[in-house]
Amino acid sequence: MVRNGKQYVDSLKDNRRIYINGEIVEDVTTHPAFKGIIQSFANLYDLAADPSNDMIYTTEDGTQANKVFMIPRSREDLAIRRKAITKWAEATCGFAGRSPDHVAGFLAGFSSYPEVFGEYQQNVHDFYKYARDEDLFVTYVIIPPQVDRSKAAHEQEEKYLPVGVLEEREDGIVVRGSQMLGTSAAVSNYLFVSCITPLRPGDEDYAISFVLPLDTPGLKLYPRPSYAMGKEAVYDYPLSTQFDESDSLMVFDDVFIPWKHVFVNKNIEATRDQFHKTPAHVLGNNQAQIRLCTKIKFIIGVARKITEMGGTDKFPQVQERLGELASLAATVEGMLLASEYECTLDKNGTARPSARFLFGIVGMQDQVYANVIKILRELVGGGVLQMPSSYHEMVNPETRDDIRQYIRASGVDSEARIKLYRLAWDIIGSEFAGRHQQYEMFYNGAPFVVRGHAFRNYGYNEPLELVERFLSSYSLPDKDAHVQS
Ligand SMILES: Cc1cc2nc3c(=O)[nH]c(=O)nc-3n(C[C@H](O)[C@H](O)[C@H](O)COP(=O)(O)OP(=O)(O)OC[C@H]3O[C@@H](n4cnc5c(N)ncnc54)[C@H](O)[C@@H]3O)c2cc1C
Protein backbone atom coordinates (compact mmCIF):
# COMPACT_ATOMS: atom_id res chain seq x y z
CA MET A 1 0.00 0.00 0.00
CA VAL A 2 1.11 3.55 -0.71
CA ARG A 3 -0.51 6.08 1.60
CA ASN A 4 -1.87 9.44 0.58
CA GLY A 5 -1.37 12.65 2.53
CA LYS A 6 -4.62 12.42 4.43
CA GLN A 7 -3.88 8.88 5.61
CA TYR A 8 -0.48 10.08 6.83
CA VAL A 9 -1.97 13.06 8.70
CA ASP A 10 -4.66 10.87 10.29
CA SER A 11 -2.01 8.39 11.44
CA LEU A 12 -0.43 11.08 13.63
CA LYS A 13 -3.52 11.65 15.76
CA ASP A 14 -2.53 9.51 18.72
CA ASN A 15 -1.25 9.77 22.26
CA ARG A 16 2.35 10.83 21.57
CA ARG A 17 3.81 12.98 24.32
CA ILE A 18 5.56 16.05 22.94
CA TYR A 19 6.51 18.86 25.31
CA ILE A 20 7.15 22.29 23.83
CA ASN A 21 7.12 25.76 25.38
CA GLY A 22 5.93 24.41 28.72
CA GLU A 23 2.95 22.56 27.30
CA ILE A 24 2.07 19.14 26.04
CA VAL A 25 1.00 19.05 22.40
CA GLU A 26 -2.63 17.93 22.21
CA ASP A 27 -2.78 17.33 18.47
CA VAL A 28 0.47 17.45 16.55
CA THR A 29 -1.35 17.88 13.23
CA THR A 30 -2.82 21.25 14.19
CA HIS A 31 -0.04 22.58 16.43
CA PRO A 32 1.71 25.65 14.96
CA ALA A 33 5.17 24.13 15.48
CA PHE A 34 4.38 21.05 13.39
CA LYS A 35 1.46 21.64 11.04
CA GLY A 36 3.65 23.22 8.33
CA ILE A 37 6.05 20.31 8.05
CA ILE A 38 3.18 17.82 8.38
CA GLN A 39 1.51 19.45 5.38
CA SER A 40 4.80 19.27 3.46
CA PHE A 41 5.21 15.57 4.27
CA ALA A 42 1.53 14.98 3.41
CA ASN A 43 2.30 16.50 0.01
CA LEU A 44 5.10 13.95 -0.41
CA TYR A 45 2.69 11.10 0.30
CA ASP A 46 0.18 12.52 -2.20
CA LEU A 47 2.94 12.79 -4.76
CA ALA A 48 4.00 9.17 -4.26
CA ALA A 49 0.43 7.89 -4.32
CA ASP A 50 -0.21 9.51 -7.71
CA PRO A 51 0.74 6.79 -10.26
CA SER A 52 1.73 9.43 -12.82
CA ASN A 53 4.77 10.20 -10.64
CA ASP A 54 6.06 6.64 -11.05
CA MET A 55 7.07 6.17 -7.40
CA ILE A 56 5.36 2.82 -6.86
CA TYR A 57 6.97 -0.58 -7.43
CA THR A 58 6.04 -4.22 -7.02
CA THR A 59 8.05 -5.63 -4.13
CA GLU A 60 9.84 -8.99 -4.03
CA ASP A 61 6.75 -10.26 -2.15
CA GLY A 62 4.34 -9.03 -4.82
CA THR A 63 2.98 -6.08 -2.83
CA GLN A 64 2.79 -2.48 -4.05
CA ALA A 65 5.08 -0.06 -2.21
CA ASN A 66 6.88 3.23 -2.46
CA LYS A 67 10.23 2.90 -4.28
CA VAL A 68 12.03 4.53 -1.37
CA PHE A 69 11.70 1.16 0.41
CA MET A 70 13.28 -0.77 -2.47
CA ILE A 71 16.20 -3.14 -1.92
CA PRO A 72 18.25 -2.32 -5.03
CA ARG A 73 19.47 -5.40 -6.91
CA SER A 74 21.31 -3.67 -9.75
CA ARG A 75 22.72 -0.36 -10.93
CA GLU A 76 19.42 0.18 -12.74
CA ASP A 77 17.53 -0.26 -9.45
CA LEU A 78 19.77 2.35 -7.82
CA ALA A 79 18.90 4.76 -10.63
CA ILE A 80 15.18 4.00 -10.22
CA ARG A 81 15.49 4.60 -6.49
CA ARG A 82 17.42 7.83 -7.08
CA LYS A 83 14.73 9.19 -9.38
CA ALA A 84 12.01 8.48 -6.79
CA ILE A 85 14.02 10.06 -3.97
CA THR A 86 14.79 13.06 -6.17
CA LYS A 87 11.07 13.63 -6.76
CA TRP A 88 10.56 13.95 -3.03
CA ALA A 89 13.69 16.05 -2.54
CA GLU A 90 12.53 18.47 -5.22
CA ALA A 91 9.20 18.86 -3.43
CA THR A 92 11.03 20.14 -0.33
CA CYS A 93 13.85 21.87 -2.28
CA GLY A 94 16.19 19.47 -0.44
CA PHE A 95 15.41 21.10 2.92
CA ALA A 96 13.79 18.07 4.57
CA GLY A 97 16.68 15.94 5.79
CA ARG A 98 14.60 13.32 7.51
CA SER A 99 11.77 12.78 5.08
CA PRO A 100 10.42 9.21 5.25
CA ASP A 101 12.88 7.95 2.61
CA HIS A 102 15.93 8.28 4.89
CA VAL A 103 15.25 5.55 7.43
CA ALA A 104 13.38 3.53 4.77
CA GLY A 105 16.84 3.02 3.22
CA PHE A 106 18.28 1.81 6.53
CA LEU A 107 15.42 -0.66 7.01
CA ALA A 108 15.88 -2.00 3.47
CA GLY A 109 19.60 -2.38 4.16
CA PHE A 110 18.98 -4.26 7.43
CA SER A 111 16.49 -6.64 5.88
CA SER A 112 18.74 -7.36 2.90
CA TYR A 113 21.52 -8.59 5.20
CA PRO A 114 19.73 -10.18 8.14
CA GLU A 115 22.51 -12.50 9.31
CA VAL A 116 24.11 -9.82 11.50
CA PHE A 117 20.97 -9.80 13.65
CA GLY A 118 21.35 -13.47 14.64
CA GLU A 119 18.33 -14.76 16.55
CA TYR A 120 16.40 -11.52 15.91
CA GLN A 121 16.64 -11.54 12.13
CA GLN A 122 13.01 -12.50 11.59
CA ASN A 123 11.98 -9.40 13.59
CA VAL A 124 14.04 -7.26 11.22
CA HIS A 125 12.44 -8.82 8.12
CA ASP A 126 8.96 -8.60 9.58
CA PHE A 127 9.29 -4.97 10.56
CA TYR A 128 10.82 -3.95 7.24
CA LYS A 129 7.94 -5.57 5.38
CA TYR A 130 5.37 -4.08 7.74
CA ALA A 131 6.84 -0.56 7.38
CA ARG A 132 7.13 -0.97 3.61
CA ASP A 133 3.63 -2.38 3.08
CA GLU A 134 1.93 0.06 5.47
CA ASP A 135 4.08 2.90 4.06
CA LEU A 136 5.15 4.00 7.53
CA PHE A 137 7.22 7.04 8.36
CA VAL A 138 10.11 5.82 10.52
CA THR A 139 12.73 8.17 12.02
CA TYR A 140 15.71 7.31 14.19
CA VAL A 141 17.80 8.26 17.20
CA ILE A 142 21.19 6.57 17.17
CA ILE A 143 23.41 8.96 19.13
CA PRO A 144 23.76 9.04 22.93
CA PRO A 145 23.04 12.42 24.53
CA GLN A 146 25.99 14.79 25.05
CA VAL A 147 27.10 14.39 28.64
CA ASP A 148 30.77 13.43 28.71
CA ARG A 149 32.14 12.28 25.37
CA SER A 150 35.46 11.21 26.92
CA LYS A 151 33.70 8.42 28.83
CA ALA A 152 32.15 5.18 27.59
CA ALA A 153 28.38 4.70 28.01
CA HIS A 154 28.80 2.61 31.18
CA GLU A 155 31.23 5.13 32.70
CA GLN A 156 28.80 8.10 32.65
CA GLU A 157 27.91 9.52 36.05
CA GLU A 158 24.53 7.79 36.07
CA LYS A 159 23.67 4.47 34.54
CA TYR A 160 20.71 5.45 32.36
CA LEU A 161 21.78 8.68 30.67
CA PRO A 162 22.08 7.00 27.24
CA VAL A 163 19.18 4.63 26.63
CA GLY A 164 19.85 1.14 27.97
CA VAL A 165 18.15 -2.08 29.01
CA LEU A 166 16.66 -1.77 32.47
CA GLU A 167 14.94 -5.13 32.57
CA GLU A 168 14.53 -8.21 30.43
CA ARG A 169 11.13 -9.83 30.67
CA GLU A 170 9.57 -12.89 29.12
CA ASP A 171 7.62 -10.73 26.70
CA GLY A 172 10.27 -8.11 25.90
CA ILE A 173 12.65 -5.54 27.35
CA VAL A 174 12.18 -2.36 29.35
CA VAL A 175 14.45 0.55 28.39
CA ARG A 176 15.38 3.72 30.24
CA GLY A 177 17.45 6.79 29.38
CA SER A 178 17.62 9.17 26.46
CA GLN A 179 19.00 9.55 22.96
CA MET A 180 19.59 12.49 20.64
CA LEU A 181 18.39 13.92 18.24
CA GLY A 182 15.15 12.83 16.61
CA THR A 183 14.73 14.96 13.51
CA SER A 184 11.12 14.67 12.30
CA ALA A 185 10.43 12.19 15.12
CA ALA A 186 7.52 14.33 16.33
CA VAL A 187 5.77 13.90 12.99
CA SER A 188 6.62 10.27 12.26
CA ASN A 189 4.95 6.93 13.04
CA TYR A 190 7.76 4.79 14.38
CA LEU A 191 11.17 5.39 15.87
CA PHE A 192 14.24 3.22 15.34
CA VAL A 193 16.54 3.40 18.36
CA SER A 194 20.13 2.20 18.55
CA CYS A 195 23.70 3.46 18.99
CA ILE A 196 26.00 4.11 16.04
CA THR A 197 28.86 5.54 18.09
CA PRO A 198 31.49 2.92 19.03
CA LEU A 199 30.67 0.95 22.17
CA ARG A 200 33.31 -0.53 24.45
CA PRO A 201 33.39 -3.68 26.58
CA GLY A 202 31.16 -2.97 29.57
CA ASP A 203 28.63 -1.11 27.37
CA GLU A 204 26.52 -4.22 26.70
CA ASP A 205 23.36 -2.75 28.26
CA TYR A 206 23.47 0.03 25.65
CA ALA A 207 24.20 -2.29 22.72
CA ILE A 208 20.59 -2.45 21.58
CA SER A 209 18.46 -1.80 18.60
CA PHE A 210 14.67 -1.69 18.49
CA VAL A 211 11.66 0.08 17.03
CA LEU A 212 8.60 1.52 18.73
CA PRO A 213 5.49 3.51 17.77
CA LEU A 214 5.64 7.19 18.69
CA ASP A 215 2.72 6.91 21.08
CA THR A 216 4.29 4.15 23.20
CA PRO A 217 3.68 4.83 26.92
CA GLY A 218 6.77 6.28 28.60
CA LEU A 219 8.28 7.77 25.43
CA LYS A 220 8.64 11.56 25.70
CA LEU A 221 9.79 14.09 23.10
CA TYR A 222 11.48 17.39 23.92
CA PRO A 223 11.85 19.35 20.68
CA ARG A 224 14.07 22.41 20.36
CA PRO A 225 12.33 25.77 19.75
CA SER A 226 10.22 25.78 16.62
CA TYR A 227 11.26 28.03 13.73
CA ALA A 228 7.78 27.85 12.21
CA MET A 229 5.89 29.13 15.25
CA GLY A 230 5.13 32.84 15.28
CA LYS A 231 5.80 33.16 11.57
CA GLU A 232 2.54 34.33 10.12
CA ALA A 233 3.16 34.10 6.39
CA VAL A 234 4.87 31.63 4.10
CA TYR A 235 5.76 34.66 1.97
CA ASP A 236 7.97 36.05 4.77
CA TYR A 237 9.68 32.76 5.74
CA PRO A 238 9.00 30.27 2.95
CA LEU A 239 11.33 27.55 4.29
CA SER A 240 10.92 27.97 8.07
CA THR A 241 7.14 27.78 7.79
CA GLN A 242 7.04 24.73 5.54
CA PHE A 243 10.12 22.62 6.19
CA ASP A 244 10.99 22.92 9.89
CA GLU A 245 11.23 19.23 10.74
CA SER A 246 12.01 19.82 14.44
CA ASP A 247 14.72 17.93 16.34
CA SER A 248 13.84 16.24 19.60
CA LEU A 249 15.64 14.81 22.56
CA MET A 250 13.94 11.48 23.17
CA VAL A 251 13.40 10.29 26.73
CA PHE A 252 12.57 6.67 27.51
CA ASP A 253 10.85 6.55 30.84
CA ASP A 254 10.84 2.80 31.43
CA VAL A 255 9.44 1.97 28.04
CA PHE A 256 8.36 -1.58 27.28
CA ILE A 257 9.48 -3.01 23.93
CA PRO A 258 7.96 -6.38 22.93
CA TRP A 259 10.44 -8.94 21.54
CA LYS A 260 8.99 -8.64 18.06
CA HIS A 261 10.35 -5.09 17.92
CA VAL A 262 13.83 -5.92 19.21
CA PHE A 263 16.59 -6.23 16.55
CA VAL A 264 19.65 -6.37 18.84
CA ASN A 265 19.82 -7.07 22.55
CA LYS A 266 23.03 -6.43 24.53
CA ASN A 267 25.33 -7.29 21.66
CA ILE A 268 28.12 -4.81 20.86
CA GLU A 269 29.22 -6.56 17.68
CA ALA A 270 25.71 -6.74 16.20
CA THR A 271 25.03 -3.13 17.14
CA ARG A 272 28.07 -2.07 15.12
CA ASP A 273 27.61 -4.55 12.26
CA GLN A 274 23.97 -3.60 11.61
CA PHE A 275 25.22 -0.25 10.31
CA HIS A 276 28.52 -1.15 8.70
CA LYS A 277 28.27 -4.78 7.53
CA THR A 278 24.80 -4.43 6.10
CA PRO A 279 24.15 -1.94 3.27
CA ALA A 280 22.03 0.21 5.66
CA HIS A 281 24.57 2.99 6.11
CA VAL A 282 25.36 3.30 2.40
CA LEU A 283 21.70 3.22 1.36
CA GLY A 284 20.78 5.83 3.99
CA ASN A 285 23.68 8.04 2.99
CA ASN A 286 22.89 7.59 -0.68
CA GLN A 287 19.44 9.06 0.03
CA ALA A 288 21.09 11.90 1.96
CA GLN A 289 23.38 12.72 -0.98
CA ILE A 290 20.50 12.66 -3.47
CA ARG A 291 18.73 15.18 -1.23
CA LEU A 292 21.86 17.32 -0.84
CA CYS A 293 22.37 17.36 -4.58
CA THR A 294 18.85 18.77 -5.06
CA LYS A 295 19.33 21.29 -2.25
CA ILE A 296 22.53 22.67 -3.73
CA LYS A 297 20.95 22.91 -7.18
CA PHE A 298 18.09 24.86 -5.62
CA ILE A 299 20.47 27.25 -3.84
CA ILE A 300 22.43 27.81 -7.02
CA GLY A 301 19.17 28.64 -8.76
CA VAL A 302 18.47 31.27 -6.10
CA ALA A 303 21.99 32.71 -6.52
CA ARG A 304 21.64 32.89 -10.29
CA LYS A 305 18.23 34.54 -10.10
CA ILE A 306 19.38 37.10 -7.55
CA THR A 307 22.39 38.11 -9.61
CA GLU A 308 20.24 38.40 -12.72
CA MET A 309 17.70 40.50 -10.84
CA GLY A 310 20.35 42.85 -9.49
CA GLY A 311 22.28 43.03 -12.77
CA THR A 312 25.45 41.81 -11.06
CA ASP A 313 25.65 38.67 -13.22
CA LYS A 314 27.29 40.81 -15.89
CA PHE A 315 30.39 41.35 -13.74
CA PRO A 316 33.19 38.84 -14.40
CA GLN A 317 33.90 38.66 -10.67
CA VAL A 318 30.31 37.55 -10.02
CA GLN A 319 30.46 35.02 -12.84
CA GLU A 320 33.57 33.62 -11.15
CA ARG A 321 31.61 33.19 -7.89
CA LEU A 322 28.71 31.59 -9.76
CA GLY A 323 31.27 29.35 -11.43
CA GLU A 324 32.55 28.25 -8.02
CA LEU A 325 28.99 27.38 -7.02
CA ALA A 326 28.61 25.43 -10.26
CA SER A 327 31.80 23.48 -9.49
CA LEU A 328 30.58 22.63 -6.01
CA ALA A 329 27.18 21.48 -7.30
CA ALA A 330 28.71 19.44 -10.09
CA THR A 331 31.13 17.81 -7.62
CA VAL A 332 28.30 16.66 -5.36
CA GLU A 333 26.23 15.40 -8.29
CA GLY A 334 29.23 13.77 -9.95
CA MET A 335 30.19 11.89 -6.79
CA LEU A 336 26.59 10.75 -6.34
CA LEU A 337 26.45 9.40 -9.89
CA ALA A 338 29.91 7.86 -9.58
CA SER A 339 28.86 6.02 -6.42
CA GLU A 340 25.90 4.62 -8.34
CA TYR A 341 27.92 3.75 -11.46
CA GLU A 342 30.64 2.01 -9.44
CA CYS A 343 28.19 0.05 -7.28
CA THR A 344 28.92 -3.55 -6.35
CA LEU A 345 26.66 -6.49 -5.62
CA ASP A 346 27.15 -7.88 -2.12
CA LYS A 347 26.93 -11.58 -1.28
CA ASN A 348 23.17 -11.29 -0.79
CA GLY A 349 22.68 -9.66 -4.18
CA THR A 350 22.12 -6.08 -2.99
CA ALA A 351 23.57 -3.28 -5.11
CA ARG A 352 25.70 -1.11 -2.84
CA PRO A 353 26.69 2.37 -4.01
CA SER A 354 30.48 2.67 -4.07
CA ALA A 355 31.65 3.66 -0.59
CA ARG A 356 34.73 5.38 -2.06
CA PHE A 357 32.66 8.01 -3.85
CA LEU A 358 29.79 8.10 -1.38
CA PHE A 359 31.89 8.77 1.70
CA GLY A 360 34.36 10.78 -0.35
CA ILE A 361 31.72 13.46 -0.78
CA VAL A 362 30.14 12.92 2.66
CA GLY A 363 33.58 13.67 4.11
CA MET A 364 33.61 17.08 2.39
CA GLN A 365 30.00 17.97 3.02
CA ASP A 366 30.57 20.38 5.88
CA GLN A 367 32.98 22.37 3.71
CA VAL A 368 30.91 22.17 0.54
CA TYR A 369 27.74 23.40 2.22
CA ALA A 370 29.53 26.11 4.20
CA ASN A 371 31.10 27.36 0.94
CA VAL A 372 27.79 27.37 -0.91
CA ILE A 373 26.21 29.45 1.87
CA LYS A 374 29.22 31.79 2.05
CA ILE A 375 29.05 32.51 -1.68
CA LEU A 376 25.29 33.13 -1.60
CA ARG A 377 25.83 35.49 1.35
CA GLU A 378 28.44 37.34 -0.65
CA LEU A 379 26.21 37.63 -3.72
CA VAL A 380 23.12 38.96 -1.91
CA GLY A 381 24.99 41.68 0.00
CA GLY A 382 22.90 43.78 2.38
CA GLY A 383 19.81 43.41 0.16
CA VAL A 384 18.45 40.65 2.38
CA LEU A 385 18.27 43.13 5.27
CA GLN A 386 16.80 45.91 3.21
CA MET A 387 13.50 43.99 3.30
CA PRO A 388 10.51 45.16 5.37
CA SER A 389 9.84 43.34 8.62
CA SER A 390 6.89 41.46 7.14
CA TYR A 391 4.41 41.45 4.26
CA HIS A 392 2.23 43.85 6.30
CA GLU A 393 4.27 46.84 5.13
CA MET A 394 3.53 45.76 1.57
CA VAL A 395 -0.23 45.82 2.03
CA ASN A 396 -0.67 48.63 4.56
CA PRO A 397 -1.92 51.73 2.62
CA GLU A 398 0.32 53.95 4.74
CA THR A 399 3.56 52.12 3.82
CA ARG A 400 3.00 50.15 0.64
CA ASP A 401 3.92 52.95 -1.78
CA ASP A 402 7.35 53.39 -0.18
CA ILE A 403 7.99 49.68 -0.43
CA ARG A 404 6.89 49.60 -4.07
CA GLN A 405 9.03 52.61 -4.90
CA TYR A 406 12.27 51.69 -3.18
CA ILE A 407 12.44 47.92 -2.98
CA ARG A 408 12.57 46.67 -6.51
CA ALA A 409 14.96 45.89 -9.33
CA SER A 410 14.91 47.10 -12.90
CA GLY A 411 11.95 45.50 -14.57
CA VAL A 412 11.04 43.63 -11.36
CA ASP A 413 8.37 44.82 -8.93
CA SER A 414 8.75 44.89 -5.17
CA GLU A 415 6.59 41.80 -4.63
CA ALA A 416 8.86 39.61 -6.75
CA ARG A 417 12.06 41.13 -5.38
CA ILE A 418 11.06 40.79 -1.72
CA LYS A 419 9.82 37.25 -2.32
CA LEU A 420 13.19 36.14 -3.67
CA TYR A 421 15.28 37.94 -1.05
CA ARG A 422 13.11 36.57 1.76
CA LEU A 423 13.81 33.10 0.43
CA ALA A 424 17.53 33.88 0.32
CA TRP A 425 17.43 35.01 3.96
CA ASP A 426 15.71 31.76 4.95
CA ILE A 427 18.63 29.93 3.31
CA ILE A 428 21.49 31.96 4.80
CA GLY A 429 20.36 33.97 7.81
CA SER A 430 17.24 32.86 9.66
CA GLU A 431 17.33 30.47 12.60
CA PHE A 432 16.12 27.82 10.19
CA ALA A 433 19.15 28.59 7.98
CA GLY A 434 21.56 28.34 10.92
CA ARG A 435 20.10 25.00 11.89
CA HIS A 436 20.64 23.77 8.34
CA GLN A 437 24.33 24.64 8.51
CA GLN A 438 24.51 22.62 11.72
CA TYR A 439 22.52 19.83 10.12
CA GLU A 440 24.75 19.44 7.05
CA MET A 441 27.79 19.49 9.31
CA PHE A 442 26.57 16.95 11.86
CA TYR A 443 23.65 14.83 10.69
CA ASN A 444 25.93 12.00 9.73
CA GLY A 445 28.35 12.43 12.62
CA ALA A 446 30.89 15.11 13.52
CA PRO A 447 33.28 16.12 10.70
CA PHE A 448 36.11 14.01 12.13
CA VAL A 449 33.79 10.97 12.09
CA VAL A 450 32.64 11.37 8.48
CA ARG A 451 36.18 11.96 7.27
CA GLY A 452 37.03 8.72 9.08
CA HIS A 453 34.43 6.98 6.88
CA ALA A 454 36.11 8.53 3.82
CA PHE A 455 39.51 7.31 5.05
CA ARG A 456 38.33 3.77 5.74
CA ASN A 457 36.36 3.40 2.53
CA TYR A 458 38.67 4.95 -0.05
CA GLY A 459 40.59 1.76 -0.85
CA TYR A 460 44.28 2.64 -0.83
CA ASN A 461 45.55 -0.35 -2.85
CA GLU A 462 45.30 1.49 -6.11
CA PRO A 463 47.16 4.69 -5.11
CA LEU A 464 49.77 2.71 -3.16
CA GLU A 465 50.38 0.47 -6.13
CA LEU A 466 50.87 3.54 -8.34
CA VAL A 467 53.46 4.88 -5.93
CA GLU A 468 55.22 1.52 -5.56
CA ARG A 469 55.36 1.08 -9.32
CA PHE A 470 56.90 4.51 -9.75
CA LEU A 471 59.35 4.10 -6.87
CA SER A 472 60.54 0.80 -8.27
CA SER A 473 61.19 2.38 -11.68
CA TYR A 474 64.43 4.01 -10.46
CA SER A 475 67.05 3.32 -7.81
CA LEU A 476 70.19 4.59 -6.21
CA PRO A 477 72.79 5.49 -8.88
CA ASP A 478 75.56 2.98 -9.33
CA LYS A 479 78.13 3.91 -6.65
CA ASP A 480 81.21 2.99 -8.73
CA ALA A 481 79.90 4.90 -11.74
CA HIS A 482 79.54 7.93 -9.49
CA VAL A 483 83.15 7.67 -8.25
CA GLN A 484 84.53 7.36 -11.78
CA SER A 485 82.70 10.44 -12.99
C1 LIG B 1 20.35 19.41 13.08
C2 LIG B 1 20.72 18.05 13.53
C3 LIG B 1 19.85 17.00 13.33
C4 LIG B 1 20.19 15.72 13.77
N5 LIG B 1 19.31 14.68 13.56
C6 LIG B 1 19.58 13.46 14.05
C7 LIG B 1 18.67 12.38 13.91
O8 LIG B 1 17.62 12.50 13.29
N9 LIG B 1 18.97 11.20 14.50
C10 LIG B 1 20.13 11.01 15.19
O11 LIG B 1 20.36 9.92 15.68
N12 LIG B 1 21.01 12.01 15.33
C13 LIG B 1 20.77 13.23 14.79
N14 LIG B 1 21.65 14.24 14.97
C15 LIG B 1 22.79 14.03 15.84
C16 LIG B 1 24.04 13.84 15.08
O17 LIG B 1 24.11 12.53 14.63
C18 LIG B 1 25.19 14.22 16.02
O19 LIG B 1 25.16 15.63 16.13
C20 LIG B 1 26.52 13.76 15.48
O21 LIG B 1 26.60 12.37 15.50
C22 LIG B 1 27.67 14.32 16.30
O23 LIG B 1 27.50 14.06 17.65
P24 LIG B 1 27.46 15.26 18.69
O25 LIG B 1 26.56 16.32 18.14
O26 LIG B 1 27.13 14.72 19.99
O27 LIG B 1 28.89 15.86 18.64
P28 LIG B 1 30.13 15.33 19.46
O29 LIG B 1 30.36 13.90 19.18
O30 LIG B 1 29.97 15.69 20.88
O31 LIG B 1 31.26 16.19 18.79
C32 LIG B 1 31.26 17.63 18.87
C33 LIG B 1 32.69 18.06 18.61
O34 LIG B 1 33.51 17.65 19.70
C35 LIG B 1 34.77 17.18 19.22
N36 LIG B 1 34.89 15.75 19.55
C37 LIG B 1 33.96 14.97 20.13
N38 LIG B 1 34.41 13.73 20.29
C39 LIG B 1 35.66 13.70 19.83
C40 LIG B 1 36.66 12.68 19.70
N41 LIG B 1 36.44 11.42 20.09
N42 LIG B 1 37.83 13.00 19.14
C43 LIG B 1 38.07 14.26 18.69
N44 LIG B 1 37.16 15.28 18.78
C45 LIG B 1 35.98 14.99 19.34
C46 LIG B 1 34.76 17.45 17.71
O47 LIG B 1 35.28 18.75 17.49
C48 LIG B 1 33.29 17.44 17.37
O49 LIG B 1 32.99 18.16 16.19
C50 LIG B 1 21.39 15.51 14.47
C51 LIG B 1 22.27 16.58 14.67
C52 LIG B 1 21.95 17.83 14.20
C53 LIG B 1 22.91 18.95 14.44
3-state SS, one letter per residue, for 311-365? CHHHCHHHHHHHHHHHHHHHHHHHHHHHHHHCCEECCCCCEECCHHHHHHHHCCH
**DSSP H stretches of helix in 353-430:** 355-362, 365-380, 392-395, 400-406, 414-428
Helix/strand/coil for 141: strand
In this structure, are residues 144 and 206 in contact, taking their beta carbons and an 8 Å threshold? yes
Residue nearest to atom 19 of ligand 1 (CA): 442
Ligand 1 centre to CA of 434 (Å) is 16
Which of 146, 149, 249, 367 is the best mutation target for the ligand 1 pocket, counting ligand atoms within 8 Å of the beta carbon and taking the most? Answer: 149
Per domain, the residue ranges of the chain are: 5-276, 280-467
Domain 5-276, architecture per CATH? Beta Barrel (2.40)
In this structure, are residues 259 and 277 in contact, taking their beta carbons and an 8 Å threshold? no
pLDDT for position 253? 98
d(CA 146, CA 179): 9
d(CA 429, CA 237): 11
Ligand 1 centre to CA of 295 (Å) is 22
In angstroms, what is the C-alpha Rg of the chain?
A: 25
Residue nearest to atom 32 of ligand 1 (CA): 446
Per-residue pLDDT of the chain (485 residues; tens, 9 = 90+): 999 999 999 999 999 999 999 999 999 999 999 999 999 999 999 999 999 999 999 999 999 999 999 999 999 999 999 999 999 999 999 999 999 999 999 999 999 999 999 999 999 999 999 999 999 999 999 999 999 999 999 999 999 999 999 999 999 999 999 999 999 999 999 999 999 999 999 999 999 999 999 999 999 999 999 999 999 999 999 999 999 999 999 999 999 999 999 999 999 999 999 999 999 999 999 999 999 999 999 999 999 999 999 999 999 999 999 999 999 999 999 999 999 999 999 999 999 999 999 999 999 999 999 999 999 999 999 999 999 999 999 999 999 999 999 998 889 999 999 999 999 999 999 999 999 999 999 999 999 999 999 999 999 999 999 999 999 999 999 877 665 55
d(CA 187, CA 482): 77
Which of 183, 197, 281 is the best mutation target for the ligand 1 pocket, counting ligand atoms within 8 Å of the beta carbon and taking the most? Answer: 183
Ligand 1 centre to CA of 446 (Å) is 5
Q: Taking CB atoms and a 6 Å cutoff, what residues make up the pocket around ligand 1?
A: 98, 140-143, 146, 149, 180-183, 247, 435, 438-439, 442-443, 445-448
Based on the number of CB atoms within 10 Å of its own CB, is 398 exposed (0-12), middle (13-18) or buried (19 or more)?
exposed
In this structure, are residues 147 and 156 in contact, taking their beta carbons and an 8 Å threshold? yes
pLDDT for position 449? 93
The third-level CATH classification (topology) of the domain covering 280-467 is Butyryl-CoA Dehydrogenase, subunit A; domain 3 (1.20.140)
pLDDT for position 363? 94
Closest atom of ligand 1 to 438 CA is: 53
pLDDT for position 481? 65
